[in-house]
A and B are shown apart, each in its own frame.
Chain A
Amino acid sequence: MTTLTEFLGMGGYGAFIWPSYGISAVVLILLVAFSLRRLHRIEADLIPLEQNRKTRRQNKSTKEGAAS
């Protein structure tokens, strides 16, 4: 147990070392999370549009097929 407290104390500098590691972790994790969330949201928005386009194309080609 003493070793753990010693480790966390960091020779009296723990109050500066752990916040700096902590804030780095928080900021970088948030950066990754927000980037991923944005990507997923855009991908989700794209799906119906892509399907829409596909069906429209099929409609067009069947119409053209019917015309010829």
Chain B
Amino acid sequence: MAIDLHKFANPARFLRITAVIFPWAAALTLLLLGIGLYFALFVSPEDYQQGNTVRIMFVHVPAAWMSMSVYSMMAISAAVGLIWKHPVADLSAKAAAPIGACFTFLALVTGSLWGQPMWGTFWVWDARLTSMLILFFLYLGYMAIWESYDDPSKAAKAAAILVLVGAINVPVIKFSVDWWNTLHQPASVATMDGPKIHSSILTPLLIMGTAYMSLFVTVFIIRVKAEILNRRLRMMRLVQLED
């Protein structure tokens, strides 16, 4: 029993802290999504080049931001879990992965829906799109490796190794893809950088970005809590079997 208590000491504190944060994060998400959507759909003006399609940016860019930051967050918590054997760190990387995968998927889909009216095609092998797609595969690989180990502590370590190798490789992949693209079709994405960001567009964008961030926090708390309780469930079942 003593080992048990020690193991749960930290997760218990985590659960206590998040129980305080959770309602605020959920409320903030709803509030910001409401304001952000109102600004995005009604207040913000049409872009003089892109017309109304610029409104896709308000769901596209925050998703792309989150997809990158969630991966970095996973890499950091995997490193913490591997080095200090912090019990919550591994679980938090695991809990974050599906959220990151969802954001990456959304960035890809909304990006191609934006691409069709702007570039005349749903998909171009543009550097950003390609590296986003690769990031999506990295998320899938990470989630797959968690599924394929029976022993969760081994799965945690294997997944941590994978996510760290990926984190070292992501800048290399990004660089190579940028470089590959500029070699093949220079300046095809000029429309992407064309319009200067005006405050009437930047404000809703930042609101939506913050809304996505707090949505991440909300879902993240739910998922980490589920992971912690799941581990507790496994241990209690083991204890019951032993008796």
Contact = CB atoms under 8 A, between A and B. Distances in A.
B223 interface: yes
Nearest to A49: B236
Contacts of B233: 42, 45-46, 49
Contact of A23 (B53, B110, B225, B240): B110
A53 B236 contact: yes
A19 B223 CA distance: 27
Q: How large is the interface on B (under 10, 10 to 19, 20 to 34, 35 or more residues)?
A: 35 or more
B223 A17 contact: no
B117 A16 contact: yes
A19 B117 CA distance: 13
Interface residues of A, number: 29
B236 A38 contact: no
A20 B56 contact: yes
Interface stretch (B72-80, B98-106, B125-133, B139-147): B98-106
Interface of A: 10-14, 16-17, 19-21, 23-24, 27-28, 31-32, 35-36, 38-39, 42-43, 45-46, 49-50, 52-53, 56
Interface of B: 46, 51-53, 55-56, 59-60, 63, 98-99, 102, 105-106, 109-110, 113-114, 116-117, 215, 218-219, 222-223, 225-226, 229-230, 232-233, 236-237, 239-240, 243
